[in-house]
Chains A and B, each alone.
Chain A
Amino acid sequence: MLEVKNISKTFNPGTVNEKQALKGLSLTLRDGDFVTVIGGNGAGKSTMLNAIAGTWKVDEGQILIDGVDVTKYPEHKRAVFLGRVFQDPMNGTAATMGIEENLALALRRGDKRTLRIGINKEERKLYRDMLAKLGLGLENRLTSKVGLLSGGQRQALTLLMATLKKPKLLLLDEHTAALDPKTAAKVLETTESIVNQDRLTTLMITHNMRDAIHIGNRLIMMNNGRIIYDVSGEEKAKLTVEDLMHKFAEASGEEFANDRMMLAR
């Protein structure tokens, strides 16, 4: 489904701020894989997701989604294959547009935008049904501006938008990190149910090691622009947070001393 071959990315080359964020990273996902990604700050997790999404072009390497070489595709062309939810709830939706208008934009992801009417009647019914499933009471607020929603509501809506048109690959970039614990749990629950229902191939970055272990069928740990640990199936299910800490120290030669990571135990 996804093949990332030996990609590298250096930011601000030739300046004092030069930072090699990805160093020959490779990753292959099978159809239906639900992969959690963990790692310290600056490990290159978000950079990897942005490389796949095409926020900028990689310096080296190749990216294939569903057998299509998208390495040279601009961001909006890759969107055909991808559903994305960002860390900041403000990023995934258009605040000055209505809930239904946001969903209508998402339903047409990858389609040519024509002079047909932006939202039709059947769609509205679909949206109402799907919003009702979220259980946030949004189904009766179709025309409300998204800017009026809470962060949790916006993330849930963004999740729905990302999966409304079934993506080949769902990219979740710490999409619950900016939410309070209760809302985060709810959004995570929604995430699992949507992913499982549609059997979506998913990459989810998280800072919560417990979530990383309990969710999905595969876990990768990143450090310093590389994948340092990759575990799946039975072996992953048996992991404990202590195991992960140990693995990190072993693979990276450093103590896993990230504050947020410690808190997330």
Chain B
Amino acid sequence: MNIMSLVNALPGAAAQGLIWGIMAIGVYITYRILDIADLTVDGSLCTGGAVCIMMMLKGNNVWVSMAAAFGAGMAAGLVTGLLHTFMGIPAILSGILTQLGLWSVNLKIMGKANQAINVDKYQLLVSLRFIKNVPFYKNTILVVALITVVLIVILYWFFGTELGCSLRATGCNDKMARAQGINTDFSRVLALMISNGLVALSGGLLAQYQGFADINMGRGAIVIGLAAVIIGEAVFSRIFHNFGLKLLAVSFGSIIYYLVLQVVIWRGIDTDLLKLLQAAVVAVFLAIPVWQERYFSKPVKKGGNS
């Protein structure tokens, strides 16, 4: 229970939180904008990590490798999107099917269950070795923070365009969207692709950070993503109203999540129980708005007639 061991661990936790925050932004796009809980992410996170690491091991530049990871994630999103729209399978089940299939795909990409990359031999962008005692511009926290800001700016721009607005309309009211001539199937597929692209990019960063890609690295990712979205909203929803800031709140939510997790680990919890704890915490947070509505709301007339 040495307080210094906690303090020493916090920067690493923050860096991890930032990296997972990019994945959580991807989850935000499907969960909040599209109103779908997309379970593809548990698989596409690993796909991103696997593609990024294998590309780098083959001698590709780190940026090229990350772009490839993004592309691979988009492909995974495309599959889920087509299962959902073209084949008419419910969104949750589509995600589960893709996730299951990706397990094999990820194994084939890596050739085995785990592929390590040596931080001394390859030009990694981020690493747990780049947290302390490195020039500030190489510091992983700064690098990932910059990438996050750039991504948020791009997403902020995109969701303000005609195309981006049509995606938001689809998630909000698909009946209205179709009446306004929006191809809602296309919107769904595109949003799933963007979301999983971000998730895979996050996976690529995570694999570099930990120094390996692992077949299990995405397990429970959707829960972490949802936790970040919910924490971000709970803490910042009163002050962040702008769309870009809402995305930033998701990233902050993820950081908070990892800092809290670090404290919990430092307190000496049996780490075998962590996933159970995660699931329980997210379940309770998901239930809170429902409970508020059911037990604590004032009896006002529902509907919106004037």
Residues of A participating in the B interface, judged by any CB pair closer than 8 Å: 53, 74-77, 79-80, 82, 84, 86, 89-97, 101, 104-106, 108-111, 113-118, 147, 149-154, 161-162, 178-180, 183
User: Taking the complex as formed, is B164 at the interface, i.e. its CB lies under 8 A from any CB of chain A?
Assistant: yes
User: Taking the complex as formed, is B303 at the interface, i.e. its CB lies under 8 A from any CB of chain A?
Assistant: yes
User: Taking the complex as formed, is B163 at the interface, i.e. its CB lies under 8 A from any CB of chain A?
Assistant: yes
Contacts A97-B168, A104-B162, A117-B162 known; 10 new A-B pairs at CB < 8 A = A76-B177, A76-B181, A79-B179, A90-B304, A94-B169, A95-B172, A110-B181, A153-B306, A178-B305, A179-B305
In the complex, the answer to whether A79 meets B305 with C-beta atoms within 8 Å is: no
Residue picked from A89, A94, A114, most chain B C-beta under 10 Å: A94
User: Given contacts A150-B306, A151-B306, A153-B306, is CB(A79)–CB(B181) below 8 Å?
Assistant: yes
User: Given contacts A101-B165, A106-B180, is CB(A91)–CB(B304) below 8 Å?
Assistant: no
User: Taking the complex as formed, is B106 at the interface, i.e. its CB lies under 8 A from any CB of chain A?
Assistant: no
In the complex, the answer to whether B165 meets A109 with C-beta atoms within 8 Å is: no
Residues of B participating in the A interface, judged by any CB pair closer than 8 Å: 158, 160-166, 168-169, 172-173, 175-184, 303-306
Residues of A within 8 A of B161 (CB): 113-118
Which partner residue on chain A sits nearest B160 by CB separation? Answer: A118
Which partner residue on chain A sits nearest B170 by CB separation? Answer: A94
User: Given contacts A114-B162, A117-B161, A154-B304, is CB(A76)–CB(B184) below 8 Å?
Assistant: yes
In the complex, the answer to whether B177 meets A94 with C-beta atoms within 8 Å is: yes
Top 9 A-B pairs, shortest CB-CB distance: A150-B306, A79-B181, A151-B305, A94-B172, A152-B306, A118-B165, A113-B162, A109-B181, A113-B163
The A contact surface, by secondary structure, is loop
B62 to chain A, nearest CB (A): 28
Residue picked from A108, A118, A151, A183, most chain B C-beta under 10 Å: A118
A172 to chain B, nearest CB (A): 12
Residues of B within 8 A of A53 (CB): 179
In the complex, the answer to whether B304 meets A89 with C-beta atoms within 8 Å is: yes
Residues of B within 8 A of A90 (CB): 173, 304
Residues of B within 8 A of A74 (CB): 183
In the complex, the answer to whether A179 meets B306 with C-beta atoms within 8 Å is: yes
In the complex, the answer to whether B306 meets A105 with C-beta atoms within 8 Å is: no
Residue picked from A79, A89, A178, most chain B C-beta under 10 Å: A79
Q: In the bound complex, what is the Cα–Cα distance between A79 and B172 (angstroms)? A: 18
Which partner residue on chain B sits nearest A153 by CB separation? Answer: B306
Residues of B within 8 A of A76 (CB): 177-178, 181-184
User: Given contacts A79-B179, A94-B177, A106-B180, is CB(A149)–CB(B304) below 8 Å?
Assistant: yes
A201 to chain B, nearest CB (A): 17
In the complex, the answer to whether A118 meets B162 with C-beta atoms within 8 Å is: yes
Q: In the bound complex, what is the Cα–Cα distance between A219 and B164 (angstroms)? A: 42
In the complex, the answer to whether A105 meets B163 with C-beta atoms within 8 Å is: no
In the complex, the answer to whether B305 meets A105 with C-beta atoms within 8 Å is: no
Which partner residue on chain A sits nearest B166 by CB separation? Answer: A113
Q: In the bound complex, what is the Cα–Cα distance between A89 and B303 (angstroms)? A: 9
In the complex, the answer to whether A79 meets B173 with C-beta atoms within 8 Å is: no
Residues of B within 8 A of A110 (CB): 181
Q: In the bound complex, what is the Cα–Cα distance between A76 and B179 (angstroms)? A: 6
Of the candidates B163, B164, B176, B183, which one forms a contact with A93 in the assembled complex, judged by CB atoms under 8 Å apart?
A: B176
Residues of A within 8 A of B303 (CB): 151
Which partner residue on chain B sits nearest A108 by CB separation? Answer: B162
Which partner residue on chain A sits nearest B161 by CB separation? Answer: A115
In the complex, the answer to whether B162 meets A79 with C-beta atoms within 8 Å is: no
Residues of B within 8 A of A150 (CB): 304-306
Which partner residue on chain A sits nearest B169 by CB separation? Answer: A94
Residues of B within 8 A of A101 (CB): 165, 168
In the complex, the answer to whether B305 meets A183 with C-beta atoms within 8 Å is: yes
User: Given contacts A94-B168, A115-B161, is CB(A84)–CB(B305) below 8 Å?
Assistant: no
